[in-house]
């Protein structure tokens, strides 16, 4: 993750981040390279922050 932003409003918080993923598929050797965004929504329950929702979107990196 990079360019992480965090925000808190009472018992809710959210984080936004850029993400880059590079992986090789074991089965066929394909290389995956994606960039995108990730968001997390947190809720404080009994004084413990818990992730209650996450979303990501990505696009393949063009050479």
At residue 62, the pLDDT reads 80
Q: What is the CATH number of the domain that holds 51?
A: 3.10.450.50
Condensed to tens digits (0 to 9), the pLDDT of residues 44-61 reads: 999 999 999 999 999 878
pLDDT at 23 over 80: yes
* pLDDT > 80? residue 9: yes
Cα–Cα distance between 17 and 10 in angstroms, integer? 21
Which pair of structure tokens corresponds to residue 45? 């329950």
- Number of structural domains found in the chain: 1
28-50: b (≥16 Cβ within 10 Å) or e:
eeeeeeeeeebebebeeeeeeee
Work out the average pLDDT over 17-43. Answer: 96
Q: How much is the average pLDDT of 1-14?
A: 98
Domain containing residue 52: 2-60
């Amino acid at each position: 993750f990079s360019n992480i932003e965090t925000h808190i409003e009472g018992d809710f918080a959210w984080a936004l981040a850029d993400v880059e993923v590079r992986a090789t598929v074991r089965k066929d050797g394909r290389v995956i390279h994606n960039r995108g965004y990730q968001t997390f929504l947190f809720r404080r329950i009994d004084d413990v922050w818990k992730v209650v929702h996450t979303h990501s979107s990505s696009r393949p990196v063009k050479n």
